[in-house]
Every structure is written in C-alpha cells, then in structure tokens.
Amino acid sequence: MPVKDYSDVALGDLISLAGRTAVITGGAAGIGKSIARRLAEAGAAVMIGDLDEGKAQSVAANLAETSVPHAGVKVDVRDHASIAALGDFAIARTGRLDIWINNAGIFPAGKALELPDDDWSRVLDINLRGTFFGGREAALRMQGQGVIVNLASTNSFNTGVSAIHYVASKHGVVGVTKSLAVELAGKGIRVLAVAPTMTTSDGVMQMRKLGPEVAEGLDNFAHSLPLGRAGVPDDVARVVLFLVSDLAAFMTGAVVLVDGGELAK
Ligand code: NAD
C-alpha cells in the first residue's frame, strides 16, 4: 500500500472531517450524542440512527454547521435490514460514507444463574450482533477508504459489573473489531474500538435513579479510579474524533482505553 505522507499537512487539516459523511448508531443520547456533536464540529455530515427517532432528529437539528446535511432517522440495530437502510440513507443523502460509529448499546444488570434467556439474546443482539452487521454494512458502502469505530468497554477486559451478558457482548466487540480490521485493511478501511470506563451518559444517569445504594456504588467506583472521577461523554467523543481523523491514519485493530486509569490498577 502506498505511504501517504502527512508530515506537511497542517494540524487543522488533519483533524478536519469536512466533506466526509459519518453515521452513528444510538446517537440520540449519552456518549453517542457527544460523538455526533464532535464529528459535526469537525465538519462531517452526521447521520444519527436511533430507536428514538424524535430525539435523533432533534439532536441532528442542533448540530454545528447547519449548512451540512445532518439527519436523524429511526434504526433498530437488532434488525439487519434496518442497519442496511441506514447505510443506504447516508449514501442517498450525501453520496458517500466515510465514518461509521457502532455506538448503540444497553447495559442491564444480570447474574448468570438468574438470567432470563431473552435478556441474554437482547443484549447480545444489540451490543454484538448490531456491531458486526453495522461494520459489515458500512464496509460494503465505503469507497476506497473509511473508518469504523466500535464502542467496547473496560468490561471488554474485566468483569467489573454483575452482567454476564454485557461482559460477554463487550468481549465480543473486541473480537469483531480485530477481525474486521485485518480483513478490511486491504480496502483502506480502518477499524478501531474505544473502551470507556463508567461514563455519565443518559443511560448511567438513569441507573442512578434505581436507588441511593446504586448511586453510592457508582460514586465509590468513580472515586476509586486513578483519575478520581467517572468519565463524561465528551471524554469519549474527543478520543473517537482523534481515531476517525487522519491523525490516526496508521491505527487499525486497536482498542483504546478511555478509562481514567481503571485497567492500569
Ligand atoms: P445511553 O443509554 O445513554 O444511550 C444509548 C442510545 O442508544 C439511546 O439513544 C438509545 O435510544 C439507543 N439505542 C438503544 N438500543 C438501540 C437499538 N436497538 N437500536 C438503535 N439505538 C438504540 O448509552 P451510553 O451510556 O451513552 O452508551 C453508549 C455505548 O457506550 C454503549 O455501547 C455502551 O455499552 C458503551 N459504554 C458505555 C459506558 C458508560 O458507562 N456509559 C461505559 C462503557 C461502554
């Protein structure tokens, strides 16, 4: 593969996504919403796919650079056809697809011996199956270059929470990331993952409402991290922006921790 020399490219041009089209699943809330905002700020046209179509449209309407054709559409990442339709929508709207973020995910608790079969299937379908089919549909539509970023977790490497289905799904996301990275490298497509620790997304803020003991447990966990706090969604979004930009042109197959030092302990 020819070496592209970026050494004379100005920093602003390296981080710019002007003229590129990005798709993000689960971008109507939490970490995904922050990623959508950073991608738009860098100049990309951002297509937000989410179960909540109203919220996806409202987030898209409030993104930076309203001259760029951002959009919010309904997608259910459990449904392969729905993911394919999201890819088709991005192409129909902008004529290209450069960036795909597999962000949609759920994180219910669930101990192995008590776990209903359906809970296992639902978490694996959204977090792992959705990530694979998202990556595949993205790659089928990218023309000669592209970047796919998956949302892994520190629970891709440890168990941390009592949620065997979540832990299994996020370990699987690492496998999908590495396998796709190797298979797609020859097509000029980079595939990466970010692995956040506990991050104060909408979903986590909802969890806190389950009761004072849950909130206290989350606070204790945050304080136990080397950096002494939970992540905020934009902590993850800034790293994703770096990974999809040309600053990271020689990175593929990596899983980047955004964990306040959790896994260094
Ligand atoms: P969140 O609950 O705040 O937002 C998730 C979004 O995904 C929502 O807008 C929801 O409507 C959407 N969604 C859910 N199911 C969907 C489906 N089937 N199809 C399409 N959209 C769907 O979540 P978050 O905390 O921002 O998490 C985002 C990602 O980051 C997830 O993959 C999660 O596992 C991962 N992650 C989160 C944390 C954390 O502490 N927040 C830590 C590590 C990894």
HSE (side-chain half, CA atoms, 13 Å) at 212: 0
Output the tens digit of pLDDT for each of the chain's 265 residues. Answer: 668 899 999 999 999 999 999 999 999 999 999 999 999 999 999 999 999 999 999 999 999 766 789 999 999 999 999 999 999 999 999 999 999 999 999 999 999 999 999 999 999 999 999 999 999 999 999 999 999 999 999 999 999 778 999 999 999 999 999 999 999 999 999 999 999 999 999 999 999 999 999 999 999 999 999 999 999 999 999 999 999 999 999 999 999 999 999 999 9
| Number of Cβ atoms within 10 Å of the Cβ of 215 | 14
For a mutational test of ligand 1's pocket, the pick from 201, 202, 209, 221, i.e. the residue with the most ligand atoms closer than 8 A to its C-beta, is 201
Q: How far is the CA of 30 from the centre of ligand 1 (A)?
A: 7
pLDDT, one tens digit per residue, over 142-161 is 999 999 999 999 999 999 77
pLDDT score recorded for residue 16: 97
Contact of 252 with 9, CB cutoff 8 Å = no
pLDDT at res. 1: 66
What pTM did the predictor assign?
0.97
Which among 103, 88, 79 has a CA at the least distance from the CA of 192? 103
Residue nearest to atom 2 of ligand 1 (CA): 203
Q: Give the per-residue pLDDT at 3.
A: 81
Phi-psi region of 131 (alpha: psi -120 to 50; beta: other; left: phi over 0): alpha
CA quadruple 109, 110, 116, 117: dihedral sign: positive
Angle at 137 between CA 119 and CA 47, to 5 degrees: 90
Does some domain include residue 47?
Answer: yes
**What is the whole-number distance in angstroms between the Cα of residue 166 and the centre of ligand 1?**
12
Domain contains 239? yes
Sheet holding 71-74, edge to edge: 71-74, 45-50, 21-25, 99-102, 146-151, 189-196, 255-258
Which CATH number covers residue 117?
3.40.50.720
Q: What's the total number of domains in the chain?
A: 1
Angle, helices 30-41 vs 53-61, to 10°: value is 30
In a domain, 172, yes or no: yes
User: Does 93 map to a domain?
Assistant: yes
Which residues carry out catalysis? 166
CA of 181 to the centre of ligand 1 (A): 23
Pocket test for ligand 1, best of 33, 126, 131, 153 (most atoms within 8 A of CB): 153
Please report the pLDDT score of residue 177 as a whole number.
98
Whether 24 and 233 have beta carbons less than 8 Å apart is answered as no
* Full domain range(s) for residue 108: 11-196+231-258
